[in-house]
Every structure is written in structure tokens, then in C-alpha cells.
Amino acid sequence: MSEDIPVVPYPDWPNPGIGEFSKCIGSIEYRRKGGINNWIGESKICSAKKCIKIDKWLTFVNAQTYKSNLLFRRFYFDGMASGKFEVGFEMENLTNENLKLEKIIEDIADLNVRIGIIEKEDFQLGNADKGLCQLYQIATRKINSTYSQDFIYCSKPVIILRKLQQENFIINLNGFRTVVNDLKIEVGFYSLTQSRNLNEVWIINDLNRWETISYERGEKIRQLRITLARIISLKKSLNKILKLIQAEKISPKQRSDESNNLQHFLIDSIRRLYRESEKVSDESIIFLFKNIERDIFPGEAESLYAKLKNVINVRPQILDKVIEFLDPKDRNNTNINNISIMTNNIDNSGAKNTNMNFGSGKANQNISENNFMNNEDLLLVHKKIFEIENHLLQIENDLKKEEFDKLKNQKNQIKETLNEGNVSKKTIKDKFDYILSTAKKLGDIAVPITKIAGEVSKYLYVFIAQIRT
């Protein structure tokens, strides 16, 4: 947020000129198929061929099953605090048999790549976040200048995939999905555990098996994919900065230039998110975004509001926008289409998918009905269960078998209870309290699970306390 950090010349983001150059990354060029109409940016991108190096022979071809062709490598920055690297692949099934998408995605994520001028080590594409973070720091600072690496954060990769209905790939992942009738597509968010890391996968699945895809319909689907990537990048960046403010790692002096820059970022980011969310006309997709990308819990939110008001002294209208962003007024008045939850036990290779559908209509508003899990609660809890599953896989070899089995069984009991439907918040809170108690006894090794279970328990307790009063 400071103007004093020494940086090298960089493209004039968010609307750079053709031929401008980003050190260690590449030059600015037009996106071949263009960006989104009436939208600043995205029509011009920075080629990232110089920074994400993949040998042509590594664009692997398996003659017996499938091939994957490298399409593009791009970088885009929004001119404020959010940048994204994109790598595009095209996959083709070479057999008449159904292939699991998660296996192909894992193969691509395991692909070894070299990151720019960092020659000492190769990175797996799915775990290249630290390498890209290091490269970006080198690319933006002057030689011999020093400033903390804490100013740069890199999220885990998000995979956005478009699947044609006639392609014989099958999806067998944990996640949520909704149908967009106007475009005859299904949009889903899935959880993929790859190399013991949890990655997010968004799949745009074409439901139109026989009809030839018109240019107009194909363009709308492409623009939806671009919009998804843009919103995900913006929201992750905004959530990260709000988390740092809440933890007092970002705490500029009142009425300073840094404070003004921070407040400008907050208001501009939230306005951009609102504008770009309007480009997604389907309310069920917006509903998924609001809840899946939710990182600030009620208890943290109150602490954040206090720091924004009392420590940083942000302007009242900006504080109101942050509150509206984290706790929108229409959160219990959202019209949604059917949303399905797929719960697939990733611990057991033979487990079956369990589909659980949310009915259309408005979320519960009656205070007596708020005692039960609503659509928003279900999405949040399922996402946190996926995260617990991921951490369990990471520490499995370090736990005794009885310790691992106990946590695994407690986690599976929550999933089974949710699948029964019409479950009270207290029931689910009690079950997360059991996980919390078990994880605490395991000490430091289970801290991530302790944190997740504690956050969910606290989140549900807020609503239970409201009902009691």
C-alpha cells in the first residue's frame, strides 16, 4: 500500500499498451479471441511463455488413452493488488472408454515446469505457487532493493475446465453443481486432492449432446469462463487483505497515504466484484460464489470491523461496503435454482456419490426455521469437510492408526448426518466439537483441523445463540 517501495517499470495495468514488457514474464499482446465487451482489461494480456517454461515433449501424449495440448500461458494484473497466471490445455480422449477427469487433471498438475529465471529447481505445475510468487518479487523490485516477502501472497491453483457433453470424460469428485438452463450448461465446483494438496476445480459442463454449438452460445460460455477466473482472482485477493487487516499485519497509520491507498483498494475491489458478478446472470452461480469463496467467519468479521473503524479509521461509507460484502442483506433472501451436492468419500476408492438437492425458492427467513441447516450453511460445512479430508491425508502417515480412524469416522458421521436432510445446526455443531476435541489432543500436527473445526463450530454457535435470545 506504500508508494515508496522501489519497483521497476511495468505495463500500464489494467489497460496496458501493446508491446509493453513485464520483466521476467513477457510482452503485452492481444487475446486472440478478445476479452469481454464493455470491460476494461482482459482483451490485452501478458504472454507468460518466458516465465512458465514447458518443453514441447512434456505436453504429454498417451497413445492408449488421451493427449493434452498446451494452448497458452498468460499473466494478467488488475492494476491494484490482484494478479493471475493462466495456463491452458486442450484434452482429447483417444479411446471409446470413459476416462476419469480427476486422473487427467492430476497428470497435468504433476507436470514438471521451470519458472522463469529460477533455474535451481523444477516445480510441479499444481504446486508452482511459491515459484511464481518468488518470480513476481524478482520481476517487480529493483536490484539491491529490499522489502518483505510478506507483501506477496500466492493462492493454490484454481482449475477452470470446459467439458463438451459428447466427450467421454466422467466427473467423480466432491463438490456442488447447478444447471444454467439458458445456456444448457452445468456449472460445478469440486474438490480435488492432488499430491496431498487441495485444489479447487470449476467445471463448465455442456449438457447439449446433439446440437451444434453456435458461435453466439460458444462465446457466452467462453465469456463465463473468463468472468469466473476474474471474480475468483479478485475475491481471493480481497479476502486475503481483509484477513491481514483482521490479524493486524496490515495496519497503516490513520489519514496516511498508505491508509488512503488501502481504502481506495477496498472500495474499488468491492465495486468491481459487484459489477463483474452482474455479468453472471444466473443467481445459483452467484450463490455458489458467495459461499464457497467465503473466508471470513462471523466472529472474525466483528473483529475486522472494529479494526477498520477504530485502528485504521476508514471512512464510514467504505466500512458499510465491507460489511455489505461480508454479510449481504439478501443472504437469507436469495432465489436459487436446484443445487446438488456430491459427497464422495475420498478415503475409500470404492465410495459412491451421494447427491443432495436443494429445492428452488427462498432461503429460510423465519427465526424458528433458522435452527436448521440452510443452503448457505450446507455449502460452507461441506467445503470445510473437504478441507479436513485434505489435512487428514497429509498427516495420515504421522498418526497412529486408531487416531486417524477416529478423526476419519467423526468426519464421515457429519457427512452421513447431512445427507439425512433437515438437520439442526446444533447437531452439526456438536459433531464438529467432537472433531475439535479429538484434534486438540493430537497437538501441533492437527492444528489445521483444530482451526477448521473451531471456525465452523463458532459460526454455527452464533446462529444458535441468536435463536436462544
Residues 10 and 38 sit within 8 Å (Cβ to Cβ): no
How far is residue 236's CA from residue 274's CA, in Å, rounded to a whole number? 14
175-226 tens-digit pLDDT? 777 888 778 888 888 877 655 555 678 888 888 765 566 788 888 888 888 8
Residues 89 and 69 sit within 8 Å (Cβ to Cβ): yes
- Give the residue from 168, 167, 189 showing the smallest Cα distance to 178: 189
Opening angle at CA 160, ends 64 and 268, nearest 5: 165
For residue 340, what pLDDT is reported?
Answer: 65
54-85 tens-digit pLDDT? 865 555 555 567 777 888 898 888 777 778 88
How many CB atoms neighbour CB 435 within 10 A?
25
- Give the residue from 437, 420, 421 showing the smallest Cα distance to 429: 437
For residue 169, what pLDDT is reported?
Answer: 73
Contacts of 401 by beta carbon, 8 Å cutoff, 6+ apart: none
Cell of 206: 455442456
How do the domains of the chain map onto residue ranges?
A: 21-326, 363-468
Per-residue pLDDT of the chain (469 residues; tens, 9 = 90+): 555 555 566 788 778 888 888 888 888 888 888 776 655 567 888 888 888 888 655 555 555 677 778 888 988 887 777 788 899 888 877 777 777 777 777 778 888 888 877 666 678 888 888 788 878 777 776 655 554 556 677 777 888 888 776 667 777 666 777 888 778 888 888 877 655 555 678 888 888 765 566 788 888 888 888 888 888 888 888 888 898 898 888 889 998 888 998 999 899 888 888 877 777 767 777 777 766 666 676 667 888 999 999 999 999 999 999 988 887 654 444 444 456 665 543 333 333 333 444 443 333 333 344 578 877 777 778 878 878 887 888 788 888 999 999 999 998 899 888 877 778 888 999 999 999 999 999 988 898 899 889 888 888 876 554 444 4
How far is residue 270's CA from residue 234's CA, in Å, rounded to a whole number? 9
Would the pTM of this model clear 0.85, i.e. be above it? no
3-state secondary structure of 425: helix
